[in-house]
C-alpha cells in the first residue's frame, strides 16, 4: 500500500515546527469509514461524509475524487447522507453539498447504540424474570437471512411487522412473498427511513436513525438482523416476540 508523507491534504492537517510524520492515509481513511458504518452507512457513504468534512463543502465530482469512489455512486451516497441528516445541499448548477458537524454523527451513534442495548436489556429482563433459556438461533449469511424472512412472510397469518433501514434490498428479494401475504389478508407493516420505496398495500411508518432489521410475525416469532443482513438471531419464543412487538408498536406510535 502506498505511503504518503504527512503534508497538508484533504485528510491531514499540517503540524508546523514538527518533523514530518509518515502515515498511511488510505489505511486511516478505511479505518474511519468502517467506524462510521456502525450507524448504518455504506463504505461509499462513509467516505463521502469524510470527504465533505475535509473540504467543508463540495460538488459530487469533487467529493467523488477526494473520497475515491465512482461519481455515479457518489451522487447516491450524498443523497443518503442528506436523508440521514449528515449533510445538506444548496440549489445550483452543480449542486453543492455541505456536511453537518461530526458531533451530529457522534450523537447518531450514541442514540443507535442506546436503542440496541435497550432491546438487549429488554430480552435479558424477560429471560431472567421467567427463568427461560435463550431460545434464540443464529442464522449466518445474507441469502439464508433473506430466506428466513421469506419463510416468516409465507407462514404469517395475521400480522407481520418489519423495521429496517435497508427496505429497498429486502423489497427486491421478497416482493412475491409480500404480495402473497397481503392476498391472504396478512397486515404487513413497515418502519423504515425516509426515501425508501414501500410495496403497495403495506402500511408504512417513517423514522430516522434505524440501524438494524427487526421483525415480528404473528406476535409469536421474531428476528433481529445486522444492518448488512449477513447474520440474524431468530426465535419462536412467544415471550420474546411479544416484547419486541411492543417495542415496535411504540416506534410506530412515535413516527409519521
**Same domain as 117, residue 167:** yes
**Do 147 and 242 share a domain, yes or no?**
yes
Place of cell 443507535: 112
95 and 113 co-located in one domain = no
State yes or no: pLDDT of 23 exceeds 50.
Answer: no
Whichever domain contains 228, its CATH number is: 3.30.870.10
CATH of the domain at 40: 1.10.10.10
How confident is residue 9, by pLDDT bands cut at 50, 70 and 90?
very low
Q: How many domains does the chain have?
A: 2
Q: Residue 19 pLDDT more than 80?
A: no
Give the residue with greater pLDDT, 112 vs 179: 179
Give the structural domain span for 61: 4-100
Q: Say if residue 89 is in the same domain as residue 134.
A: no
Reported pTM: 0.55
Summarised one tens digit per residue, pLDDT across range 98-155 is 998 888 877 777 776 676 666 666 665 655 554 555 567 788 888 899 999 999 999 9
Same domain, residue pair 124 and 230: yes
Cα–Cα distance for residue pair 188/153, rounded to 1 Å: 9
Say if residue 21's pLDDT is above 50: no
Q: Are 116 and 92 found together in one domain?
A: no
Mean pLDDT of the chain: 79
Q: Indicate if 80 and 123 belong to the same structural domain.
A: no
Residue 16 has pLDDT above 80, yes or no: no
Domain edge (last residue) among 55, 80, 100? 100
pLDDT (average), residues 178-200: 90
Amino acid at each position: 500500500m502506498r505511503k504518503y508523507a504527512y503534508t497538508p491534504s484533504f485528510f491531514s492537517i499540517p503540524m508546523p515546527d514538527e518533523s514530518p510524520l509518515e502515515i498511511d492515509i488510505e489505511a486511516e481513511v478505511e479505518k474511519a469509514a468502517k467506524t462510521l458504518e456502525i450507524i448504518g452507512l455504506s463504505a461509499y457513504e462513509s467516505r463521502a461524509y469524510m470527504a465533505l468534512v475535509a473540504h467543508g463543502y463540495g460538488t459530487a465530482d469533487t467529493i467523488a475524487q477526494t473520497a475515491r469512489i465512482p461519481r455515479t455512486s457518489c451522487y447516491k451516497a450524498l443523497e443518503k447522507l442528506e436523508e440521514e441528516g449528515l449533510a445538506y445541499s444548496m440549489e445550483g448548477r452543480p449542486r453543492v453539498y455541505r456536511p453537518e458537524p461530526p458531533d451530529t454523527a457522534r450523537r447518531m451513534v450514541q442514540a443507535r447504540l442506546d436503542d440496541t442495548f435497550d432491546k438487549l436489556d429488554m430480552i435479558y429482563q424477560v429471560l431472567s424474570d421467567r427463568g427461560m433459556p435463550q431460545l434464540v438461533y443464529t442464522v449466518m449469511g445474507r441469502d439464508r437471512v433473506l430466506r428466513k424472512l421469506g419463510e416468516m412472510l409465507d407462514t404469517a397469518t395475521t400480522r407481520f411487522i418489519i423495521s429496517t433501514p435497508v427496505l429497498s434490498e429486502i423489497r427486491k428479494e421478497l416482493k412475491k412473498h409480500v404480495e402473497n401475504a397481503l392476498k391472504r389478508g396478512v397486515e404487513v407493516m413497515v418502519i423504515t427511513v425516509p426515501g425508501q420505496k414501500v410495496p403497495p398495500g403495506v402500511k408504512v411508518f417513517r423514522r430516522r436513525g434505524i440501524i438494524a432489521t427487526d421483525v415480528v410475525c404473528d406476535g409469536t416469532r421474531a428476528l433481529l438482523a445486522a444492518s448488512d443482513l449477513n447474520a440474524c438471531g431468530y426465535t419462536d419464543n412467544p415471550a420474546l416476540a411479544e416484547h419486541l412487538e411492543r417495542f415496535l408498536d411504540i416506534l410506530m406510535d412515535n413516527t409519521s
